[in-house]
């Protein structure tokens, strides 16, 4: 049974209030100067911030990146605001959750193969796990990754239906697209079908989208690549949120809202 069925489903207004109180959205912990630094590095061609996507020279102007982030994430659009507090618009977070719910509803209706992965196990693991459980209960196949995959000096493992990078018996926070590339290449080598849908974050989502797979991504205000990918149509949905707040339990109402909107509770 999906985990969300045991919890009260928040209204939109209740969820917005919760997001602001827990700083998943609203006045988030990521400072303005960090956001702008990442936008500048992406614009300057630093591929670490491209998350496995190929932007060419389309986003070479930092102000163009800022404009998209203001529109899709809700950071301040003032180019003269250079330091201090920045924001994620909680209404945009909920809007994106509802768009993601429509994608999940379609996946459930078609009994699609879905792959889950996270580069932020300390924050988002249970969001992915609960969503995978709900889709399996609805008849979807949750993709099981091949054994023995390696990337970035670590092993790509799957725990609770979610793929992650492990190094030295520790689940690893990573922005890299290489673990997702290892999974997709491993599936092809094994003659197994690729996922119909990927639900992920960081480079895991970027790599999937770049390879032409339908993908939903979660992204923080200092991770512009996935928002640009949604703007270009490479990702179906990018959900803006602080991806590592004080307690992972703070994401439970968000997950409940998402699954309820998708008809999975």
Q: What CA–CA distance (Å, rounded) separates 131 from 260?
A: 11
Average pLDDT over residues 27-47: 98
Average pLDDT over residues 16-36: 98
CA nearest neighbour of 127 among 102, 177, 162: 162
Q: What is the mean pLDDT of the chain?
A: 96
Tokens 């030295």, located at residue: 168
Average pLDDT over residues 7-15: 95
Q: What CA–CA distance (Å, rounded) separates 38 from 186?
A: 31
Q: What CA–CA distance (Å, rounded) separates 96 from 211?
A: 22
Predicted pLDDT of residue 2:
35
What are 47-93's pLDDT values in tens digits? 999 999 999 999 999 999 999 999 999 999 999 999 999 999 999 99
pLDDT exceeds cutoff 90 at 170: yes
Q: How confident is the model at residue 1 (pLDDT cuts 50, 70, 90)?
A: very low
pLDDT exceeds cutoff 60 at 169: yes
Contact 177, 207 (CB under 8 A): yes
Q: How far is CA 247 from CA 124, 244, 250, 252, 263, in A?
A: 10, 8, 6, 10, 26
What are 204-246's pLDDT values in tens digits? 999 999 999 999 999 999 999 999 999 999 999 999 999 999 9
Contact 20, 26 (CB under 8 A): yes
Q: Which residues of 70-85 are buried (b: 16+ CB within 10 A; e: fewer)?
A: bebbbbbeeeebeeee
Can you list the positions of beta strands (E) in the chain?
26-27, 87-88, 113-117, 141-142, 150-151, 154-159, 162-167, 170-172, 197-201, 214-219, 237-240
- The gap between the terminal CA atoms of the chain, to the nearest Å, is 8
Phi, psi of 138 (to 5 degrees): -85, 0
Predicted pLDDT of residue 7:
74
What are 106-144's pLDDT values in tens digits? 999 999 999 999 999 999 999 999 999 999 999 999 999
């Amino acid at each position: 049974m999906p985990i969300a069925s045991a919890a009260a489903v928040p209204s939109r207004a209740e969820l917005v209030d919760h997001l602001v109180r827990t700083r998943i959205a609203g006045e988030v912990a990521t400072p303005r100067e960090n956001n702008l630094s990442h936008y500048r590095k992406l614009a300057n061609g630093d591929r670490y911030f491209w998350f496995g996507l190929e932007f060419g020279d389309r986003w070479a102007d930092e102000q163009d990146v800022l404009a998209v982030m203001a529109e899709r994430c809700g950071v301040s659009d003032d180019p003269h605001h250079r330091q201090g507090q920045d924001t994620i618009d909680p209404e945009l977070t909920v809007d994106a959750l509802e768009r993601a719910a429509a994608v999940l509803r379609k996946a459930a209706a078609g009994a699609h193969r879905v792959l889950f992965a996270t580069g932020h196990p300390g924050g988002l693991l249970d969001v992915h796990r609960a969503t995978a459980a709900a889709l399996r209960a609805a008849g979807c196949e949750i993709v099981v990754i091949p054994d023995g995959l390696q990337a970035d000096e670590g092993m790509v493992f799957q725990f609770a239906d979610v793929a992650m990078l492990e190094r030295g018996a520790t689940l690893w926070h990573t922005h890299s697209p290489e673990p997702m590339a290892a999974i997709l290449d491993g599936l092809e080598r094994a003659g197994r079908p690729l996922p119909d849908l990927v639900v992920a974050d960081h480079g895991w989502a970027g790599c999937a989208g770049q390879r032409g797979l339908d993908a939903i991504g979660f992204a923080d205000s200092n991770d512009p690549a996935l928002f640009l990918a949604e703007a270009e149509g490479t990702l179906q949905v990018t959900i803006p949120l602080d991806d590592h707040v004080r307690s992972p339990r703070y994401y439970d109402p968000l997950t409940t809202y998402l699954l309820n909107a998708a008809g999975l509770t």
